Each structure stands twice: as C-alpha cells, then as structure tokens.
C-alpha cells in the first residue's frame, strides 16, 4: 500500500515537472490549468504518508473536548501552515532547508521549534488534567495546536516550489502548492473527524456514568498531553545528538 502511494506521488510529480518545463518553454496556460486539479490528488495522497503531524492531530483531538466543526478548523490550520511554511521558505529562506541528500526538503530548525512548542502545549494539557475540576480547553487552543504542528514545512511543496523557481515560473508553483494544500486539508480533515467520532462514541457509551466519564476525560487529556511532551522530548533529543 505504501509503495503504491509513493508510486502515485512520483507519477504526479513527474507530470508536474513536464508541465512546468512546457510552460517555461512558451506553452500556454490551458494545458497547465487542465492539469492543476491533480495537485489536490497529489496533496491528499502525500498526506497519507508518514509525517504531516497526523498523530499529533489525532492525539490532541482524542484528549480534548473539541467538537467536529472546530476539529475541522484545527486540521485546516495545520494544513495551511504546513504548506505555507514550505512556500515561504522556498521564496525567502531557502538556506534554512537542509542541503544533505538524506534530509533533503527538511527544516531541522523549524522542526525543533514546532516540537518544542507542542511540548509546552502538552505540559499545559497535563496540568489541566491534574488541577482542573472540569477538563475544559481554552478557545483557540486547537487552532494554536494546528498552527504549531504545521510549522514543519511540507517537503514536496518545497520541491515543487524550488522546481518552479529554477524554471522562473514561480506563479505555477504557487498555484500547484495551493491545490496541494486543499488535498492535504482533505486528508487531515478526515483524520480529525475520525478522531472526534471515536472519542464521541466512547463518551456516549459512558454517559450513564458521569463520574467515570469525567475521570476518563481527564485521563485522556492527560495522556494526550504526555504524548505531546514525549514527542517533543524525542525530537529535541534527536536534534541535540545529531547537531
């Protein structure tokens, strides 16, 4: 399954490269615009691969009281930030990106910043679970989680933007990045809705036991916070040892 996803990505990327070359050589907009919707497929398929903070998104939503419509906003914030950071780096701060072959397209500095901030949010969730009577999440916390998790730039968007910039047709890279963002948002929104659905189903089964429900809610919030702290600790530790 994973190899099939990789193959689909490769085929779309090669097709994109061909269209960029044709456009840069004087081809018209018609062919490129006809191909542009494939960016949605590209983004959706790419978001199924490891990374993209899907586990962070699902963990947070499982441990929070966020409703489905707000969960969609969280996934959208993550998607927009994830792709937008890659575009900004390509346009303004390409030296931040690793030049090594193994880590091509990654941004170690932003990854550490993202995971460090997620660790702080995890600590906040742990403290909330321990000291609050009712496990309530401040309004805007979910959007903050989405933004922070999305600070890690999308590597394929970096490749797309860099390729378009090399051929001096930046606008085509921006348009394709926009359609990719839509695809990424579709996949992450599905992850968000599934996390909320399973959390709500479990809550529904325990509504006849309010004390147990409250205890489980605080427990899941605490576990989610601990998981975020753990992810942050591992990422920062790996960065320190390889720095």
Q: Is the dihedral of CA 32, 43, 50, 95 positive or negative?
A: positive
Which percentage of the chain shows pLDDT scores above 90? Answer: 21
Angle at alpha carbon of residue 112, lines to 13 and 179, rounded to 5°? 30
Of 237, 234, 232, which is closest to residue 121 (Cα–Cα)?
232
Segment 98-123 shows an average pLDDT of: 61
Give the least confident one: 3-7, 26-30, 206-210: 206-210
Segment 63-80 shows an average pLDDT of: 89
**Cβ neighbours of residue 107 closer than 8 Å, sequence gap 6 or more:** 85, 89, 96, 97, 98, 152, 153
Q: How far is Cα 66 from Cα 72, in angstroms, rounded to an integer?
A: 10
What confidence tens digit (pLDDT) does each residue in 186-238 have?
999 999 999 899 888 877 766 666 666 666 667 776 777 777 788 778 777 77
Q: How far is Cα 145 from Cα 232, in angstroms, rounded to an integer?
A: 13
Question: pLDDT band at residue 109, thresholds of 50, 70 and 90?
Answer: low
pLDDT mean across residues, the chain: 79
Segment 17-28 shows an average pLDDT of: 87
Q: Is the dihedral of CA 125, 108, 48, 22 positive or negative?
A: positive
Residue 18 has pLDDT above 60, yes or no: yes
Give the least confident one: 53-62, 63-72, 126-135, 231-240: 126-135
The helix/strand/coil state of 115 is helix
Of 3, 1, 24, 36, which is closest to residue 168 (Cα–Cα)?
24
R_g of the chain computed on alpha carbons? 20
8 Å CB contact between 154 and 53:
no
Q: How far is Cα 182 from Cα 212, in angstroms, rounded to an integer?
A: 40
8 Å CB contact between 61 and 69:
no
8 Å CB contact between 156 and 163:
no
Question: pLDDT band at residue 176, thresholds of 50, 70 and 90?
Answer: very high
Most confident range (mean pLDDT) of 45-49, 94-98, 114-118, 190-194 is: 190-194
CB atoms within 10 A of CB 177: 23
8 Å CB contact between 183 and 41:
yes
Higher pLDDT, 68 or 230: 68
Distances, alpha carbon 96 to alpha carbons 28, 85, 165, in Å: 34, 11, 17
Supply the DSSP string of 210-237, one letter for each residue.
HHHHHHHHHHHHHHHHHHHHHHHHHHHH
Higher pLDDT, 211 or 163: 163
Backbone φ and ψ for 131, nearest 5 degrees, come out as -105, -15
Segment 152-158 shows an average pLDDT of: 84
pLDDT of 217 reads 67
Helix H segments across the chain?
2-24, 29-35, 38-46, 54-63, 68-92, 108-131, 141-149, 155-166, 170-205, 210-242
């Amino acid at each position: 399954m994973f190899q099939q996803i990789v193959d689909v990505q490769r085929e779309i990327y090669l097709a994109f490269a061909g269209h960029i070359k044709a456009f840069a050589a004087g081809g018209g907009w018609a062919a490129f615009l006809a191909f542009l919707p494939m960016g949605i497929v590209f983004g959706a398929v790419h978001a199924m691969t490891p990374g993209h903070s899907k586990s962070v998104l699902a963990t947070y939503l499982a441990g929070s009281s966020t409703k489905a419509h707000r969960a969609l906003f969280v996934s959208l914030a993550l998607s927009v930030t994830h792709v937008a950071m890659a575009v900004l780096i390509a346009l303004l701060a390409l030296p931040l990106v690793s030049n090594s072959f193994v880590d091509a397209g990654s941004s170690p500095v932003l990854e550490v910043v993202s995971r460090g901030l997620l660790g702080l949010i995890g600590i906040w969730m742990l403290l909330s679970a321990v000291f609050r009577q009712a496990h309530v999440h401040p309004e805007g916390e979910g959007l903050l989680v989405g933004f922070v998790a999305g600070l890690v730039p999308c590597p394929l968007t970096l490749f797309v933007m860099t390729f378009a910039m090399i051929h001096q047709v930046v606008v085509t890279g921006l348009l394709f990045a926009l359609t990719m963002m839509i695809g990424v948002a579709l996949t992450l929104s599905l992850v968000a809705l599934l996390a909320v659905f399973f959390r709500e189903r479990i809550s529904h089964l325990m509504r006849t036991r309010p004390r147990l429900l409250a205890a489980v809610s605080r427990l899941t919030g605490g576990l989610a916070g601990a998981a975020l702290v753990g992810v942050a600790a591992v990422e920062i530790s790996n960065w320190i040892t390889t720095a």
